[in-house]
Structure 1
Amino acid sequence: MGVYWAIAVRSFRRFSTYRIATLSGAFTNTVFGFIFCGVYLTLWHARPGLGGYDTADALTFVWLQQGLLMPVGIFGATTTIELGERVRSGEIAVDLYRPTQLMIWWMSVDAGRAFFQLLARGGLPLLVGALVFDLSWPSSAVQWLAVAVSLVFAVLVSFGVRYLVALSGFWITDSRGTEAAALVLSLFFSGATLPLVVFPGWIGEVARATPWAATLQVPIDVWLGRNPGGAWSALGFQVMWIVLLGLAGWVATSFATRKVVIAGG
């Protein structure tokens, strides 16, 4: 485990060098936060209590959403995009020579990235939003703990999806098409556009059952205390997807390794 911890620490340091880009990104998230607030205020003024959210919940959703986009990797993440490039170029063979588990190696890299982004870009938009609007906050230490755990689980679920997308390049030669499709699904089903609670009927049921819901909608609902089955049910939903995606990633890695060995003679 010492090796993977060292990988995560070095990944954190690597991303901390891009200070100007990070501040620019946080500023962009803040600007979009105000834009989304204008849209949400109009929507919730026309439909009070939409999706079970009051106005404070809806505004809180906006600022948490903007703060978590990069840490969770809704638009993809540099680490898994790099993995896709290494598969495409064949450099992945070097990774497979290392005496480490490929999936855990890249998970450690992504963990360092996510933690830095959470510290650098997660808090600033929320702080600005809290200064301007009356937002909702966790009401107990237990709820704060549940939020922290849910954020960790959200990153793991997101990584599981992105890892599978990156490995798809072993079978379709170029994973960029898969990455584009995954981006569309992520934007729609995670809550990055609208809270999934406002989706009607079976569309809402399907959206809330996908792994993307566990990356953004679920941790925000844990923060708001709006989970239908409570925080433990929400965390259990995330754990289910972590296990399923982890198993899928392990199987995909196993088959990909065999494919490299066969292709290389």
Structure 2
Amino acid sequence: MPTYWSIATASFRQYSTYRMATAAGVFTNTIFGLIRASIMIAAITTAGGELSGYTVAQAATYVWLGQALLAPIEAFGTREVSQRVHQGDVAVDLLRPTAFLGLYYAQKLGRSSFLLMGRGVPPLAVGALVTGLALPDDPLSYLLGAVSLLLAITVAFLGDMMVNLAAFWLLETRGLTVVYNAVMNLLSGFLIPILWFPDWLLTIARATPFPSMIQTPIDTLSGRVPPAEALPLVFTQVVWLAVLTLAAQLMLRAGVRSVEVQGG
């Protein structure tokens, strides 16, 4: 455990040195947040002040929380592991005394912790000033929201890792990454709440782990879903965490055997 803590803190310090990139990310997140909030507020206003359970204030809060979570969840994916597989550097990772998934998960937690504070909180503060935020009065919503956020980051990490691990069998994973990111951003509720989907698409979304990455933590943190109703959603996150952990482990083992069969 101390080893993984050291890895996480080193990852946090590493990303804290990218000050210009952080500032650029904050600016971009804020501008897109303003655009998305304007569109969603206009849609709800046109609908009469409420749309599928979302008021104007709740929709604005949804947008700003989504912008705050965009960077720590890394909604657009990563390619580090796939590149290391293609370059053969993954052999070094497999020889380390730490578990492969544990190593990258510790890096993810350190990186996400900084991104949440450095690139997530500032746009959220701007949103509070410009449109206002509808936040819960029940302290349990914040506690449960923090748990849901950690689970969301973990589920997103596992999904992204599985896409990267496909590099053991694919010569190029960029196309798969693009498709995965497009589907994830839609079905997770990042673009619009999944409750705004037609019934057939809502059913598909709920059958995937993607809402556990964005929709669930936002609804829990914002208090739009009360704690008693949020508990089943958090439990669903736990189930997906277990399923994706098992799937990622199986992919990793099969990938390692594939590398060994190929002679290296």
TM-score, length-scaled by structure 1:
0.95
Give distance in 2, aligned partners of 1:227 and 1:248.
30
Q: Which residue of 1 aligns with 2:194?
A: 196
Structure 1 residues 96-137: Cα deviation after superposition (integer angstroms, max 9, x where no partner): 111221111111111111111001111111101101223111
Measured after TM superposition, the shift of residue 50 of structure 1 is 1.0
CA contact (8 A) 2:141 2:220 kept: yes
Shift of 1:238: 0.6
- One-letter amino acid of the structure 1 residue matched with residue 122 of structure 2: L
Q: CA RMSD in A?
A: 1.3
Alignment partners' CA distance in 1, 2:7 and 2:195: 38
Show the counterpart of 1:117: 115
Equivalent runs, 1:77-88 vs 2, <5 Å? 77=78, 81-88=79-86
Q: Tell me the equivalent position of 2:31.
A: 31
How much does 1:88 deviate?
1.4
2:263 matched residue in structure 1: 264
Task: Give the aligned partner of residue 102 of structure 2.
Answer: 104
The answer to whether the 8 Å contact 1:151/1:219 transfers is: yes
Q: In the alignment, does 2:5 pair up with 1:5?
A: yes
Amino acid of the structure 1 residue aligned with 2:111 = R
**Residue number in structure 1 paired with 2:58:** 57
Amino acid in the other structure paired with 2:159: V
Distance 1:112 1:51 in 2: 36
Equivalent residues of 1:160, 1:249 under 8 A apart: yes
Q: What secondary structure sits across from 1:137 in the alignment?
A: coil
Which residue is 1:161 aligned to? 159
How far did 1:223 drift? Answer: 1.9
- 1:35-78 CA deviation, whole Å, 9 max, x = no partner? 1111111100111321211111000011111111111111114x
Structure 2-normalised TM-score? 0.95
Q: Counterpart of 2:235? A: 236
Whichever residue aligns with residue 232 of structure 2, its letter is: S
In the aligned structure 1, how far is the partner of 2:132 from the partner of 2:81? 41
* Paired residues for 1:164-179 under 5 Å: 164-179=162-177
Match of 1:128 among 122, 126, 129: 126
Segments of structure 2 that go 5 or more residues without pairing to the other structure are none
Flag as ranges the 4+ runs of structure 1 deviating above 4 A. none
Separation in structure 1 between the aligned mates of residue 263 and residue 58 of structure 2, nearest angstrom: 55
Task: Give deviations 1:210-245, integer Å, cap 9, x for gaps.
Answer: 211111111011123334871211110111111000
Separation in 2, partners of 1:134, 1:21: 27
Shift of 1:140: 1.9
Answer yes or no: is the 8 Å Cα contact 2:146–2:221 preserved in 1: no
Aligned partner letter, 2:59: A
Are the aligned partners of 1:33 and 1:66 in contact in 2 as well (CA < 8 Å)? yes
Q: Distance in 1 between matches of 2:146 and 2:76?
A: 21
1:256: how far off? Answer: 1.1
Structure 1 gap ranges (5+):
none
Asked if the contact 1:93/1:260 (under 8 Å) is kept, the reply is: no
Matched to 2:8, the amino acid is A
CA distance in 1, matches of 2:216, 2:23: 27
The answer on whether the counterparts of 2:135 and 2:223 sit within 8 Å (CA) in structure 1 is no
* 3-state SS of 1:192 partner: coil
